[in-house]
Amino acid sequence: MNPNTGHLVDFSAFNDIFDQFSVKEDGMTEIYQTLKKLETEYVALPDNLQHAAKVKLNGKKEAFVSLTSGGKLSNWAKEKRKEKIATASRRRNRK
10-29 pLDDT, tens digit each: 877 666 666 665 555 666 67
Note the pLDDT of residue 49. Answer: 94
67-81 pLDDT, tens digit each: 999 999 999 999 999
Determine, yes or no, domain membership for 2: no
Cα–Cα distance for residue pair 95/37, rounded to 1 Å: 29
- Number of compact structural domains in the chain: 1
Determine, yes or no, domain membership for 82: yes
Nearest to 7 by CA among 59, 49, 64: 64
Determine, yes or no, domain membership for 81: yes
Determine, yes or no, domain membership for 14: yes
Whole-prediction pTM value?
A: 0.71
Range of the domain at 29: 7-94
Determine, yes or no, domain membership for 1: no
Note the pLDDT of residue 26. Answer: 62
Q: Which DSSP helix (H) or strand (E) runs through 74?
A: helix 72-94
Determine, yes or no, domain membership for 76: yes
Determine, yes or no, domain membership for 33: yes
Cα–Cα distance for residue pair 9/53, rounded to 1 Å: 9
Determine, yes or no, domain membership for 84: yes
Kindly state the percentage of the chain with pLDDT values over 70.
82
